[in-house]
Amino acid sequence: MNAMLHDASGTGLVQMANGSPVIPFTEKDAALYAQDDWRIRPDLTLNLGLRWEYFGQAVNELHDLSLAQQTGPNPFWSTSLPLSTTTVPEIPRNWKDYEPRVGFAWNPSFAQRYVVRGGFSIGFDPAFYNMFLIAATHAPLVNMNTFPCGGGPCLPSNGVLTGATVRAADLRYLGVGGNPALESESYFPAKFLNPYTQTYSLGVEYQLTPNALASLRYVGDHTVHNFQSIDANPYLLPVATQFPNIVAPGSLCSDATQPGYGRPSCARGNVNEITNGAFSLYNGLQASLITRNWHGLTTNFSYTYSRTIDNVTEVLSNGSGGTTLAYAQNPLNTDRAERNVSGNSYPNVAALGITYVLPFYAHQSGWMNRLLGGYTYDMVYTYNTGQPYNAYQPLGFTNPVTGAPETSFCDIAFNESFLPADTCRLVLSNPQAPLNTVAYNAGPGKGYVVFNPSSPGPPVPTGPSAVHWIVNNANEAILLGNPYPGSGRNILRGQNFYEADASLAKELHCVGRVSVQFQVTAYNLFNHDYLGTPYAGVGGDNPGASVNPFLSNKYNNSYGNALVTTGGLPGNRVVQLGSKILF
């Protein structure tokens, strides 16, 4: 339950939502598993297995809750409408999630130091509950409206402003008996599946010495039926009007009295649907070198060169690296048009772990050993290339030349309900121009001007070749003959990450089996400032006066868009001193 007071006057407005404050998601899961190893011959072992899993549909808690509400004594929606319109659909359960496993290990008799391994498996994933929470905050599960107080006071009579008191005073004005299709709705498809991943690998291991092992292997996986958020009933009337060759006007609802006027379906308005339309493909080459107590040195070095492509990385947007915006800019093409590098694709990943027990004076007695012996050095170093992300633009603009409000051809009503930004992405103009330069197409005969909301003033003329980006508004789309001319997903990449943590320990024997260990540890040894992905919003709030934060690492989403200074970073080098008693 939620209530928010907008105006404290006697005839003010209240925005209120009525629904269950607690959604007790539960599900019953079950699994059966059989696997065994067969040694076919002395140098060859096969592994065969089969797993069956059942995941209960926790999303059906929403169906049960909406059904109980609508068929109870106080229904939210008109009882003349079918339950299929006024309740969350029930999702059938999946009983056929079978997961085979096949593998082998071959140690050829003619090359005893080599082991060749390979395998294939299928694994299903359960649905996570964050997606269900989205549906739990929209119609038909929630009745939300903004309304006048009916001539009565908006403020509670006792003057105490809490959610409970405002709700008690104003809930009677919320109104019931309407159509949830007039609200923003969130649904799941009638056949909601568990995604599965096909994993395959082939590699070779080689024993360099009794204390050292090297390996090289290829690993790939293909994820199918992953979760994807889509605009399931987009408002396409402006596209059909300007581009009838792309969207036929006759394919849209023409009845202005219906919730879906200007959309493919008349029966629904804004519909966010979480489908199984996403996929991912991963291919990687993994190398490692491991040593164990080689003259006191133990190391573990690994390096992976890989690439992952998908059509969406996560079901929710984060406005930064990974999944800047989860929705496709073209709601009619949520697959091929969105295929690009994944937000979780890191081409180069390396790690090095070292433990070195210094051999000096390790087995001597007396004060020399106490002073110079018993030292151990440890270090862990990690590196990966930066995370992919998108630049994004706001829902609407003010034309710098005419001062008129303008938008893109994307579904603004949908974006206002489910996103704080435009799903239409900036147009890539000149990749060689400075990364943070942006132009605005002011319309026919008005040309291009520099777009920088941080520095308002007289429009500054520019040209497409002088800027990296062009705002994706209706003027630019019409000029290019494409309602969705924006750049591809994840064409930018954030700052590379690397960090080294090291420690030096000295163990001092006291008496019997008791010793004391002194340790100094340095986290982020090289004092590397990691700022992640830059501020990605071209028209967002300016966190610093007269400064353009667009694509600047000084204004990073991870730090609340506040100016980041080296001295204020939580990732600075930290040195820690400690000791402990061992017995």
| DSSP labels, 276-294 | EEEEEEEEEEEEEEEEEEE
Instruction: Fill in the amino acid letter for 201.
Output: S
Which of 457, 487, 517 is the C-terminal boundary of a domain?
487
pLDDT band at 381 (very low <50, low <70, confident <90, very high): very high
pLDDT band at 172 (very low <50, low <70, confident <90, very high): confident
If one compares 2 and 320, the residue with the highest pLDDT of the two is 320
Q: What is the DSSP string of 382-451?
A: EEEPPPEE--B--S-EE-TTT--EE--SS-HHHHHHH-SS-SSPPEE--TTS-TT-EEEE--TTT-EEE-
Residue 1's pLDDT is what? Answer: 41
275-300 pLDDT, tens digit per residue, is 999 999 999 999 999 999 888 899 99
Q: Given a cut of 70, is residue 141 above it in pLDDT?
A: yes
Q: Given a cut of 90, is residue 148 above it in pLDDT?
A: no
Alpha carbons 91 and 583: distance in angstroms, whole number: 59
Residue 535's pLDDT is what? Answer: 86
Which of 454, 487, 520 is the C-terminal boundary of a domain?
487
Is residue 179 a part of any domain in this protein? Answer: yes
Q: Both tokens of residue 84?
A: 């299929």
If one compares 384 and 150, the residue with the highest pLDDT of the two is 384
**Pairing outcome for strands 438-441 and 469-470:** parallel
65-82 pLDDT, tens digit per residue, is 999 999 999 999 999 999
pLDDT band at 166 (very low <50, low <70, confident <90, very high): confident
Closest C-alpha to 459, from 405, 407, 544, 400:
400
Average pLDDT of the residues in 299-316:
97
Is residue 122 a part of any domain in this protein? Answer: no
Is residue 511 a part of any domain in this protein? Answer: no
Is residue 512 a part of any domain in this protein? Answer: no
Residue 260's pLDDT is what? Answer: 96
Alpha carbons 470 and 397: distance in angstroms, whole number: 13
Alpha carbons 280 and 313: distance in angstroms, whole number: 8
107-140 burial code (b ≥16 CB/10 A, e <16): beeeeeeebbbbbebbbbbebeeebbebbbebbb
Which of 152, 174, 189 is the C-terminal boundary of a domain?
189
Residue 21 exposed, middle or buried by CB count within 10 Å (0-12, 13-18, 19+): exposed
416-443 burial code (b ≥16 CB/10 A, e <16): ebbbebbbbbbbebbeebeebbbbbbbb
Instruction: Fill in the amino acid letter for 471.
Output: V
81-119 pLDDT, tens digit per residue, is 999 999 999 999 989 999 999 999 999 999 999 999 999
Residue 532's pLDDT is what? Answer: 82
* Cα Rg of the chain (Å, integer): 30
Residue span of the structural domain in which 396 resides: 391-487
Is residue 553 a part of any domain in this protein? Answer: no
Q: Given a cut of 80, is residue 7 above it in pLDDT?
A: no
Helix ranges (DSSP H) in 216-324: 237-242
Whether residue 174 contacts residue 31, with contact meaning beta carbons closer than 8 Å, is answered with: no
Is residue 295 a part of any domain in this protein? Answer: no
The residue assigned the tokens 């180069």 is 348
Percent of the chain with pLDDT over 90: 68
Three-state SS at 206: strand
Q: Phi-psi category of 440—alpha, beta or left, where left has phi over 0 and alpha has psi -120 to 50?
A: beta
The residue assigned the tokens 């319309």 is 443
Instruction: Give me the chain's average pLDDT, please.
Output: 88
Backbone φ and ψ of 223, nearest 5°:
-100, 130
pLDDT band at 545 (very low <50, low <70, confident <90, very high): very low
236-248 pLDDT, tens digit per residue, is 999 999 999 999 9
497-514 pLDDT, tens digit per residue, is 999 999 999 887 777 778
Is residue 221 a part of any domain in this protein? Answer: no
Alpha carbons 307 and 198: distance in angstroms, whole number: 16
Sign of the Cα pseudo-torsion (156, 162, 165, 169, in order): positive
Residue 22's pLDDT is what? Answer: 81
Is residue 224 a part of any domain in this protein? Answer: no
pLDDT band at 370 (very low <50, low <70, confident <90, very high): low
Residue 304's pLDDT is what? Answer: 98
511-546 burial code (b ≥16 CB/10 A, e <16): eeeeeeeebebbbbbeebebbbbbbbbbbbebbeee
Q: Domain tally for the chain?
A: 2
- Give whole-number Cα distances, 504 to 251, 362, 381, in Å: 71, 15, 15
Name the CA dihedral angle for 577, 581, 582, 583, rounded to a multiple of 10 degrees.
180
Q: Given a cut of 50, is residue 9 above it in pLDDT?
A: no
